[in-house]
Structure 1
Amino acid sequence: MSRFVDMLLETARTRGDARGITTGEPADPVRTTWGEVHRRALRMAGALVAGGLAPGGAVAVLAAEPITIAPAVQAVWLSGGSVTMLHQPTPRTDLAEWAEDTVRVLSMIGSELVLLGAPFDQLAPVLEQHGIGHLLLTDLADGEPLAEVVEVGEDQPALLQLTSGSTADPKAVRILHGNLFANLTSMRAASALDVEHDVMVSWLPLFHDMGMVGFLTVPMTIGMELVKVTPVEFLTGPLIWADLISRYGGTITAAPNFAYALLGRRLSGVDEDGKYDLSSLRLALNGAEPIDEKAVAAFTAEGARFGLRAECVFPAYGMAETTLAVSFAPLLSGLRLDSVDADKLESEQLAVPAADGPARSFALLGKPLAGIEARIVSGDGVVRGEREVGEIQLRGEAVTPGYLTVDGPVATQDAEGWLSTGDIGYLAGGEIVICGRQKDVIILAGRNIYPTDIERAAGTVPGVRAGNAVAVRLDAGSRRERFAVVVESKFAGDAGEEKRIRKDVGARVFESVNARPVSVLVLAPGTLPKTPSGKLRRAAAGEQLESSIRAAAS
């Protein structure tokens, strides 16, 4: 039996009714113990096995409510299967295209079964039209409890985690039971989780690895209190996040950088200083996208009015290819920055501590978790030393063995077990520092310019929507390599304001990186493509807007 499933069963047996999950906020909150979740899972698992689910079978889940998803995914694991959380259609989604993409995903992962829960149970006719097998989660609830858990090995897949790329070219990370147990236990130790006193609060989507692994699987497996709402509740009213932390005494939360920036802005509009109580928060994990020091400073400054301690900011580095987490900053150390000489970074790929002259600051992301090794490698495969910049490679128990793609399985590791992350960075005192993505680095006259520097500079211009600026490479890899900047603004369409924004963005970017964009596009809010987790997609933006960018540059 896998150690992960053993831990699930042990938690249900010894403390299943001590802790649980609260869902339904803000309209109809309901608390369900993990013991109740487990008993529901056993009935669902019984129905799945009776219905013919074979050991190792791949099962896709499409549902919105966390209290529906939790027993469903546990049921699949108890039945010996693997779980894939499908990307959810939105009101703007073309359902015919979505169904075709879903057929492609199911074929890729080898699944013939989708478990449907509200509100997506309404999609049953669409699935039937495309020959997609499905069961309603409500129909599984009355099954006979599974008499004996189906045994699975450490090398069997537990999660087939879809990546955030285009659904037309899908890819799933094969997260094994052994990977999941290794990363779960190392995260638990590094964050000093206290099952008796810690309370997790989250709105993260469960089709994203941070939400699924970090803020459902972890608390369900070790038996920790969780308050869970959907992303819709957060995006509809971001202050619900602060409200839930206040009312439930939340101690741990997590989100990408943009969400902390958004919450900070909303808190700034709250006139009553005592309206929220954020003093209970000890870990506010910041990961999944580059950490912006100004956004963090704004969040902690506004949060301080409500008892937030700046040291609770918890920078982290992770990816689905390592199950979830790679490194955590030291507990209660807050955001720590490493300031390096900009010229040496760009021209020599060295992260020399800044003295005089232009500097770049990056977040220190902590040392690798137990069981994970990290090294930096140059473009020609030479292992680099301390503060030498190159591609980050990782190795260890949590590193997954490969992907499933439409063209078949693809390994993630080389012959020695190293995973090439595609992230450019360096090690400083053993801690990981990320400079940017290898595919996004802009090379101008031998200088490596990181798009985050350009985007942050553009974001300081009045009228540019915070977190909605993208640097796009043009003629990548050629002698004519250039870049453009695309921003969103509520002033899009106003010729005078657009002209001002283009001029100011060009000036701010030049001040920051000593290079000027060949063009600046100003678009309406909601135009830039994003991943399902809310991160901007630079490559997709470049592809979609290439003709407009080149027209503006000519």
Structure 2
Amino acid sequence: MSRFVDKLLDTARTRGEHQGITTGEPKEPVRHTWAQVHERALRMAGALVAGGLREQGAVAVLAAEPVAIAPAVQAVWLAGGSVTMLHQPTARTDLAEWAHDTVRVLNMIDSKLVLLGAPFDQLAPLLDEHGIGYLRLDELADGDPLTEVVTVGEDAPALLQLTSGSTADPKAVRITHGNLFSNLTAMVDTAEIDVEVDVMVSWLPLFHDMGMVGFLTVPMTAGIELVKVTPVEFLGGPLIWADLISRYGGTITAAPNFAYALLGRRLSGVDEEGKYDLSSLRLALNGAEPIDEKAVRAFTGEGAKFGLRAECVFPAYGMAEATLAVSFAPLFTGLTLDHVDAEKLEADNVAEPAGADSGRAFAVLGKPLRGIEARIVADSGEVVGERRVGEIQLRGEAVTPGYLTVNGPVATQDADGWLATGDIGYLVDGQIVICGRRKDVIILGGRNIYPTDIERAAQTVDGVRAGNAVAVRIDAGSRRERFAVVVESRLAEDEAAVKVLRKDIGARVFEAVNARPVAVVVLKPGSLPKTPSGKLRRAAAGEQISASVKAAES
């Protein structure tokens, strides 16, 4: 039996009655112990095996409610299968296109079965129309309990995690039982989680690796108290996040940049003293690359009046290819910034220290977790030392052996086991610092300009929606390489206001990076392409804007 499943079983038997999962907030909260989740999972697993699920068979899950997803994914693991959380359609999704993409995903992972739960059970006729087999989660729990767990090895797939790119060209990270056990135990140990005391609070989507692994699989496997709501509850009223931390004594949470900035803004409008108590929070993980200092300051500044300690900010580096977490910053140190000379960084790929009032600033993300090695490799292929900038490569027990793609499996590691991440960064005292993504770096006259510097500058202009500015490469890799800036604004339909915005954004960007965008495009809110997890898609935005810029030049 894999160590991961063995740990699940041990937790259910020894600690299952003590800790559990609370769902249904804020309307109908209900708590189930992990033992109750396991009991339901056994019945569901029995039904899956009786229904013919083969060992290491791939099962897709399409549901939103954590109370239904938790026992379902555990059931798949107990039955010896692998789990894939499907990307969920939204109100603006073309359902015919979504169904076509979903069929491609199912074929890619070789799955004939979708476990369907609320609110997506209404899509059953659409699945029937496209020949997609499914079982309803509310019916699956009526099976006879599994009497003997299906044994699989450490190399068997446990999670086929869809990447955050276009679902029309899908790719899944193959996370094995060994990968999962290594990473989740390293996270629990490094974060010094006390399973008797800690309470995890999360609204992150379960089709994303941070939500699925970090805030469902980890607490369910280790036996940690969890309060779980859906992104719909958070986006419908962001202050529910602070409310849940207050009422349940939350000690651990996580979110991307935009959510911390949003919560900070909402807290700024709360005048009632003692409305929230955030003093219990000890770890507020931020794994976005790069971490936005302004978002962090907004969160800690406004949270302070409700007892929030700035040192609870917990910068991290993570990616699905390493199961989830690569590195954690030292506990209780808050956000540490490394200030470097911009010219040396851009021209020489050297992160030379600079004063806090000058140069570029990047978050320090800590040392690699137990079982993971990191190195920096220059374009020449040479492994370079500290403060030399290059591609981050990883090796270790948590690193995936490969992807599944529509064209078949693809290995991720070289002959020595190293994974090329595509992230550009450097090491400081053994700690990882990320500058950006290799594919996004803009090269002008031998200078490496990071798009995040451009985007942050654009977002300082009044009228630009926070978190909705993208710098895109045009004619990438050619002598004519340039860049454009695309922003969202509520002023997009006001011609006079747009003219002022373009001028101000161009000037602010020039001040920041000493280069002017070839174009500044202002779009209505909701126009920029984003991944299912909410991240801006630079490549997709670049394709759209590049075509329009070239058309205007011709």
Q: TM-score, normalised by structure 1?
A: 0.99
Which residues in structure 2 correspond to 1:74-93 (within 5 Å)? 74-93=74-93
The amino acid across from 1:179 in the alignment is N
Distance in 1, matches of 2:283 and 2:549, equals: 41
* SS at 2:501 equivalent: helix
Which residue does 1:411 correspond to in 2? 411
Offset of residue 274 of structure 1: 1.7
Looking at structure 2, the residues matched to 355 and 222 of structure 1 have their Cα atoms a distance apart, in angstroms, of: 43
Q: State the shift of 1:483 in Å.
A: 0.4
Letter in 1 for 2:221: T
Corresponding residue number in structure 2 for 1:163: 163
Q: CA deviation at 1:545?
A: 3.0
State how far apart, in whole Å, the 1-side matches of 2:549 and 2:357 are.
33
Q: 2 CA distance for matches of 1:447 and 1:39? A: 59
Once the 2 structures are TM-superposed, how far is the Cα of residue 322 of structure 1 from its aligned partner?
0.2
Runs of 4 or more above 6 Å deviation: none
For residues 211-265 of structure 1, the C-alpha deviation after alignment (integer angstroms, 9 at most, x for no partner) is 0000000000011000000011111111111111011100000011111011111
Structure 1 position 520 matched with structure 2 position 499: no
Tell me how far apart the structure 2 counterparts of residues 62 and 288 of structure 1 sit (CA, whole Å). Answer: 25
Alpha-carbon separation, structure 1, partners of 2:324 and 2:173 = 11
Q: 1:297 deviation in Å?
A: 1.0
Residue matched to 2:228: 228
Letter in 2 for 1:248: Y
- 1:483 is matched with 483
Superposed, 1:92-103 pairs within 5 Å as: 92-103=92-103
Deviations 1:498-544 (A, max 9, x none): 01111111111111111111110010000001111111110011113
**2-side partners of 1:342 and 1:235: how far apart?**
37
Question: Following the alignment from structure 1 to structure 2, what is the Cα–Cα distance between the partners of residues 553 and 200?
Answer: 53
Whole-angstrom CA distance in 1 between matches of 2:149 and 2:241: 37
For 2:211 and 2:109, the matched residues in 1 are separated by 21
Deviation at 1:439, TM superposition (A): 0.2
Aligned to 2:277: 277
How far off its partner does 1:553 sit?
Answer: 6.6
The residue number in structure 1 matching 2:443 is 443
The one-letter amino acid paired with 2:176 is L
The CA distance in 2 between the partners of 1:200 and 1:49, in whole Å, is: 32
Partner of 2:398, secondary structure, is coil
- Contact 2:338–2:353 at 8 Å: present in 1 too? yes
* 1:93, distance to aligned residue in structure 2 (A): 1.1
CA contact (8 A) 1:343 1:358 kept: no
Return the alpha-carbon distance in structure 2 between the equivalents of residues 273 and 292 of structure 1: 28
Within a 5 Å distance, the mapping from 1:307-456 to structure 2 comes to: 307-355=307-355, 358-456=358-456
Tell me what 2:186 maps to. Answer: 186
Per the TM alignment, residue 337 of structure 1 is displaced from its structure 2 partner at its CA by: 0.3
Shift of 1:456: 0.3
1:341–1:357: 8 Å Cα contact kept in structure 2? no
Taking the aligned partners of 2:501 and 2:289, their CA distance within structure 1 comes to 25
Task: Give the drift of 1:357.
Answer: 8.6
Matched, 1:245 2:241: no
Structure 2 match to 1:496: 496
In structure 1, C-alpha distance between the alignment counterparts of 2:531 and 2:307, rounded to whole Å: 33
Q: CA RMSD in A?
A: 1.1
The amino acid that maps onto 2:529 is: P
> 1:366: how far off?
0.1
AA at the equivalent of 2:257: N
Report which stretch shifted further, 230-239 or 537-546.
Answer: 537-546
Quick check: 2:289–2:436 contact (8 Å CA) kept in 1? no
Question: How has the CA–CA distance of structure 1 residues 108 and 22 changed in structure 2, closer, same or farther, with 3 Å as cutoff?
Answer: same
Separation of aligned partners in 2, 1:313 and 1:515: 33
In structure 2, how many angstroms separate the alpha carbons of the residues matched to 1:267 and 1:553? 46
C-alpha distance 462-356 of structure 1, shift in aligned 2 (>3 A): closer
Equivalent AA in structure 1 for residue 499 of structure 2: K
Q: Distance in 2 between matches of 1:510 and 1:551?
A: 24
Partners of 1:33 and 1:498 lie apart in 2 by: 54
Which residue number corresponds to residue 286 of structure 2?
Answer: 286
Residue 305 of structure 1 aligns to a residue whose secondary structure is helix
Q: Which residue of 1 is the match for residue 9 of structure 2? A: 9
Query: Deviation at 1:163?
Result: 0.3
* Inter-CA distance 273–497: structure 2 relative to 1 (3 Å threshold): farther
Q: Distance in 1 between matches of 2:438 and 2:553?
A: 25
Q: Which residue of structure 1 lines up, in the alignment, with residue 473 of structure 2?
A: 473
Question: Match of 1:154, as an amino acid?
Answer: E
Offset of 1:137 from its aligned partner?
A: 0.7
Distance across 1 between alignment mates of 2:79 and 2:314: 36
Mapping 1:44-83, distance limit 5 Å: 44-83=44-83
CA contact (8 A) 1:374 1:395 kept: yes
* Distance (whole Å) between structure 2 residues aligned to residue 274 and residue 248 of structure 1: 15
Moved more, 321-330 or 353-362: 353-362
- Write the letter of the residue equivalent to 2:437: R
> Are 2:203 and 1:203 equivalent residues in the alignment?
yes
Q: Matched residues, percent identical?
A: 81
SS in 1 for 2:384: coil
CA distance in structure 2 between the aligned counterparts of 1:529 and 1:289, rounded to whole angstroms:
18
Cα deviation 1:58-110 (Å, max 9, x = unaligned): 00000010000000000000000000000001111111111111110000001
Deviation digits for residues 102-138 of structure 1, max 9, x if unmatched? Answer: 1100000010000000111111111111111110111
Q: Quick one: distance in 2 between partners of 1:93 and 1:358?
A: 44
Partner Cα distance (1:8, 1:230) in 2: 24
**Distance in 1 separating the partners of 2:444 and 2:194:** 49
Answer whether contact 2:246 2:277 (CA < 8 A) is retained: yes
Tell whether 2:176 aligns with 1:176: yes
| 2:105 pairs with 1:105 | yes
Cα 1:548/1:274, change in 2 over 3 Å: farther
Partner Cα separation in structure 2 for residue 289 and residue 458 of structure 1? 18
Give the TM-score normalised by the residue count of structure 2. Answer: 0.99
- What amino acid is aligned across from residue 232 of structure 1 in structure 2? V
Distance 1:355 1:289, change over 3 A: closer
Aligned partners of 2:339 and 2:356 also within 8 Å: no
Give the Cα separation in 2 of the matches to 1:358 and 1:246.
Answer: 39
Which amino acid counterpart does residue 403 of structure 2 have in structure 1?
A: Y
Count of aligned residue pairs for this structure pair: 554
List alignment gaps of at least 5 residues for structure 1: none
CA distance in 1 between partners of 2:413 and 2:348 (Å) = 28
SS in 2 for 1:158: strand
